[in-house]
Chain A
Amino acid sequence: MKFVRPIALAAMFSVSLIATVIPAAQAAEPIRIGEINSYTRLPAFTEPYRKGWQMALEEINAAGGINGRPLEIISRDDAGKPGTAVKIAEELVKRDKVVMLSGTFFSHIGLAVSDYAKQNKIMFLASEPLTDALVWSNGNDYTFRLRPSTYMQAAMLAAEAAKTDAVTWATVSPNYSYGKDAVEAFKQVLTKLKPSVKFVDEQWPALFKIDAGVTVRSLEAAKSDAIYNVTFGPDLSALVREGTVRGLFEGRTVVSLLTGEPEYLEPLKGEAPKGWIVTGYPWYAIDTPAHNAFRKAYEARWNETLKMGSLVGYNTVLSIAAVLKKAGSTDTTALVAAMKDLKVATPGGEITYRDADHQATMGSWVGKTDVIDGAGQMTGWRYVDGAEVLPAAAEAKAMRPAN
């Protein structure tokens, strides 16, 4: 019995915990969605995301839910481990009977859950992971992705980079799959647009362990016209500080992936780089009725400003609600069918989940960084629709395995 008791106790404890999460006394049976993310591993990015989806969930339920049934999201922390994420997916599907899975931040965790979804024939809406493999080389019938991928963001920047005079380029990127993909996609698109460019140096600091001083010196030694940066988070702050002190960025074109997202730009405060061409999210300057309403509601609900994650989290739940409404059923086959060219009105504009490769056309904002009132901001930006940079449907479809 020694062995039985802890298991039984744990089971009882878990059940009672879940019971408290479920809103009491709902007339209709809620529609349950399973949500998995790396909440403790990378809180700086996943907390705003959580706030975004919670707000969308509250709005949808306040408006009467989906087809008369309230929406319920069971959210779990994968602690940054793909094995744990798959275990949680299993629990959500088999015990909590969720109708679909959503979430994940890290690319490898997104891939692990997507493979689980394929194996177990359950729909998975990947919200944040960026890897191209998720919808292309490892794409499957059950997996869809919301956020613009590594390729899409790199292609947006390559298009801007091709317009500059820079011919020789040095790259600096964290030493793992995302960094490698981001450099490869940028090289590929830029070389196609402007065959005269040369890549003269590449630096591969270990993720979140950059030795910024020596990296900056090595980039300086390459004497290139321009630099393409993929580092982010603490690596980016360290790179900006060392690079500024040593004059690395003076007279050079710098193109930088994701740097305009508040998650990365805000910590730099007044030291944010000026004149870098970046992808990001200028929430402070987007002036459309839909976005203004979103921003106002978010600031009122959480008493803090928007982040990229907030928008991604919000759009995730909007997409879930849209597909549930369109399908009119919670059956996986119906859901997957309803995802076909599903259109969702988001605060950033309408997006479509492409049938060809299951990628949403959610775009990104491309502009230049500047410091305004002691804070890093994007100026001269424009919204690039994801459809502009995605390969044509047939080309995308050809990259997916037949299954």
Chain B
Amino acid sequence: MGFYIAQFLTGLASASSLFLVAAGLSIIFGVTRIVNFAHGSLFMLGAFSAYSISQHLGFWPAIPLAALAVGAVGWLMERTVLSRLYDAQELFQLVATFALVLIIQDAALWIWGPTDLLGPRAPGLTGIVRILGEPVPMYDLFLIGIGLSVLAAIWWMFTRTRFGVLVRAATEDREMLQALGVRPARLFQATFFIGAALAGLGGALEMPRQPASLLMDLNIIAEAFVVVVIGGMGSIAGAFLAALLISELNAFGILVLPEITLVAAFAVMAVVLVLRPHGLLGKPVTSQPHAVEIQPPQTLGRVGRIAAAVLLIFLLTLPLFAGEFLVVLTGDILVLALFAAGLQFMMGTGGLISFGHAAFFGLGAYAAAMMVRDAGTGMVPALLAAPVIAAVGAVVIGWFAVRLSGVYLAMLTLAAAQILWSAGIQWQDVTGGDDGILGIWPDAWAKGTASFYYLTLALSAGGIAALMIIADGRFGRLLRAGRDAPARAGALGIDIRRRNWAAIVIAGTAAGLAGGIFAFSKGSVFPDTLAIPRSVDALVMVLLGGLHAPAGPILGAGVFSILEDVLSRLPYWRALLGAAVLAIALFAPGGIAGALSARINRTGKVRP
């Protein structure tokens, strides 16, 4: 019995530290509707700051000071970046916060250096107490106390103070609150400060448990997302419950099934989202966070058609005059453009946000690789299998996903991608695990740089053109109707759910084809084709190019690849890439294509 109680307490201590991070994320989302990807970076900054402060002032002062310092960073983030994005779509906020992740990563590397920094242990709390004969570290009990106190303090603040009432009002209906004369700007700043300080506190309190390291940010963020989603976005009690659930599941799960560690949290999240779409204690969002704006259909205008023709001629003749590597690079860009075009179709035309688009890319890549390795087929059947298998995956994931909307849908796609990614790593007999599948090279006739390039060009350009035609046709119009005016579209007898489902399958098919070509261009497939950074890359490309512009994915993929290729030769290049992405999110919300077409419109010379 004592063993299980001690195991429970250990799980509870982990739950407390997870709760601190997730609570901050949840509060920020509840009030501002921003999914803050940089929340993990704040956690990391908390750990590093606490280490530095503790070297001068000792352990105890370091904890609150680090929390305050990180709170200030959060406030600064809100003032300089996010306050400009409240009216933008979720995509912009997500991508902007991801740019902040890159910038903070390099800033931390610059300030603290590459080595892990193990801080001091908590003076007075280094020992253990025996509970029913089992040793339990005193610091664990302290953490449990902090977790419960923070829960109580937040509850008190939300129910007993004017500030809390306003925050809850903002969560329920921001427009109404504004109409009643409350200045939301102040509220948002305070929210960001508190949310960031909680993340900083969480990071600082990790000091006796793990070293401050540059890997902390992305390690915690996925788990914090899971907790917030399971608990119900914006619900603090839900976040606590979910943190407890995940941590205890881990604590007891590994006794039975030690290999559960990778997949457990995401599997729980997927189940919860299917059974209770708004999380355990979450409420459906009552008001739309942004006024719905009817996006006019964007098709290629005269300038666009001329540009497309010029581009196509340029691409067709490229191998005749360009060096071999430029041809390879352009082929890479075409694959990414197809990947991004599918996502843009789903998000732009369909209004369905995906944070896990890598799921389909990776499915395609693995399908192609397994055809070659296991079925011994050549490249052509493998390239056919890639989109088919990805489509099957999209049918399954889409069936669950269309029951949700907005951020919840995005989170379910993230969970699906993470489950597949875990399978990629753990199901070693089939996927080769981390060592991947090697030797996936093109057939002899397509082996040459130019031949493979033309194959890539044909498939990618064909895929992108097909997506454009579908978006332009009857199906695309119905999809847009469901996106902009679901109630009216429903009244007209359009089955929105089925259209959305089909849109996900179409997007998944395109991503699968891209993944298949990618496998043959690199000769190998690894779990990173399924990982979060690949999904984020796709989002960044869609944003860079322009969410609604037909040329968006091509421009986005091109600019992104070239930026990465050029910048990655410089020191601290991730911060530079982050800054570039941030600049576009802030100053060119229509993306590059949007900015170009706006310029053409203003000069009045031609209409797109």
Enumerate chain A interface residues (CB-CB to B < 8 A).
1-4, 6-7, 10-11, 13-14, 17-18, 40, 43-44, 47, 76-77, 79-83, 86-87, 90-91, 94-95, 107-108, 111-112, 115-116, 119, 131, 133, 138, 175-178, 180, 201-206, 208-209, 211-215, 217-218, 221, 233-234, 237-238, 241-242, 245-247, 266-269, 271
Contact = CB atoms under 8 A, between A and B. Distances in A.
A3 B211 contact: no
A229 to B, nearest CB: 14
B140 A111 contact: no
B118 A176 contact: no
A267 B428 CA distance: 32
A47 B215 CA distance: 16
A93 B574 CA distance: 25
B564 to A, nearest CB: 8
B445 interface: no
Contacts of B140: 213
A79 B106 CA distance: 13
A183 B219 CA distance: 24
A107 B261 contact: no
Contacts of A245: 126-128, 135, 137, 139
A270 B565 CA distance: 43
Given A245-B126, A247-B135, A177 B259 contact: no
A95 B523 contact: no
B210 interface: yes
A238 B209 contact: yes
22 contacts: A6-B562, A10-B565, A44-B114, A47-B114, A86-B523, A94-B324, A107-B435, A111-B435, A111-B438, A111-B524, A116-B523, A131-B435, A177-B428, A204-B254, A204-B258, A208-B219, A211-B14, A211-B247, A211-B254, A213-B140, A214-B251, A268-B118
Contact of B562 (A7, A214, A218): A7
B258 A209 contact: no
Contact of A3 (B247, B311, B439, B574): B311
A111 B438 CA distance: 8
Interface in B91-140: 105, 109, 114-118, 121, 126-128, 135, 137, 139-140
Contact of B433 (A94, A180, A237, A269): A180
Interface string B545-568: 000000000110011001001101
Most buried by B among A81, A94, A202, A213: A213
A76 B255 CA distance: 43
B435 A203 contact: no
A149 B193 CA distance: 48
A79 B568 contact: yes
A177 B528 CA distance: 14
A90 B210 contact: no
Contacts of B596: 2
Interface size class of B (residues with CB under 8 A): 35 or more
Contacts, number: 216
Contacts of A108: 434-436, 526, 528
B587 interface: no
Given A180-B433, A238-B211, 6 more contacts: A4-B314, A7-B558, A82-B436, A175-B426, A213-B251, A238-B209
B484 to A, nearest CB: 29
B444 to A, nearest CB: 12
B137 A242 contact: yes
Contacts of A119: 441, 523
Nearest to A10: B562
Contact of A86 (B3, B255, B323, B522): B522
Interface in B322-357: 323-326, 328-330, 332
A10 B325 CA distance: 13
Interface string B493-530: 00000000000000000000000001000111010110
A175 B262 contact: yes
A358 to B, nearest CB: 16
B328 A87 contact: yes
A225 B332 CA distance: 53
Most buried by B among A131, A234, A271: A234
